[in-house]
Amino acid sequence: MAKIELARVDFRLIHGQIITRWRKVININKIIVIDDILAADEFMTKVYASAAPADITVKVYTEEKALRLWGKNQFGTGAVMILFKDIATCSRMIKEGLPLSEVQLGGVPHTEEKKLIMKAVSLNNGEMNLIKELYEDYEVNFTIQVVPENAKMEYAEIVKIFNK
């Protein structure tokens, strides 16, 4: 069984901060991206995989395939970082049985209908409702930590800022 070292929502998926900063803090040898659209695009899947160092295996799965592989062998062996492009995908995966106890928000882009929580993380009502539901009903702790050098913002603080 693989050990999930970090589950993160980051719309950029694999990028410089993931490779140069987070990889130094968490010792991983596999990145699993769960995204139906990216998994259907062979070219972009190769682009993302090429962004990782040679010693990091990158797998891009549809939601269905990720759940099937988790059920079959818990993503094999190794130390894994799971990346989601958005909170909705993360929510569906948890509700369907991916056992995550903590999810880090690291890159949720700002739009007009969203409230800025912290630099690089903005949430709308729907996203906040999903986070609250997962926290209360599935005991998933949500934190915000864009880079390892930043202190973690815990769930209670996220709610407090969102409700201001």
Between CA 87 and CA 18 the distance in angstroms is 18
Nearest residue to 83 (alpha-carbon basis) of 17, 13, 20, 141: 13
Which amino acid, 91?
A: S
pLDDT reading at 96 higher than 90: yes
Q: Which domains does the chain have, with CATH numbers?
A: 3-163 (3.40.35.10)
Dihedral, 138, 144, 150, 152 alpha carbons, nearest 10? -40
Confidence (pLDDT) at 141: 98
Helices 155-163 and 125-138 meet at what angle, rounded to 10? 150
Confidence (pLDDT) at 105: 97
Q: Name the residue with higher pLDDT: 158 or 146.
A: 158
Do β-strands 115-118 and 79-84 pair in parallel, antiparallel, or remain unpaired?
A: unpaired
Confidence (pLDDT) at 12: 93
pLDDT reading at 6 higher than 90: yes
**Neighbour-count burial of 58, counting CB atoms closer than 10 A to its CB (0-12 exposed, 13-18 middle, 19+ buried):** buried
Confidence (pLDDT) at 24: 82
Between CA 133 and CA 125 the distance in angstroms is 12
pLDDT reading at 30 higher than 90: yes
pLDDT reading at 132 higher than 90: yes
The mean pLDDT of 41-60, rounded to a whole number, is: 94
Confidence (pLDDT) at 50: 92
Q: Name the residue with higher pLDDT: 52 or 136.
A: 136
Between CA 20 and CA 143 the distance in angstroms is 20
What's the mean pLDDT when you consider all of the chain?
95
pLDDT reading at 19 higher than 90: no
Encoded tokens for 164: 């201001």
Instruction: Grade residue 23 by pLDDT with cuts at 50, 70 and 90.
Output: confident
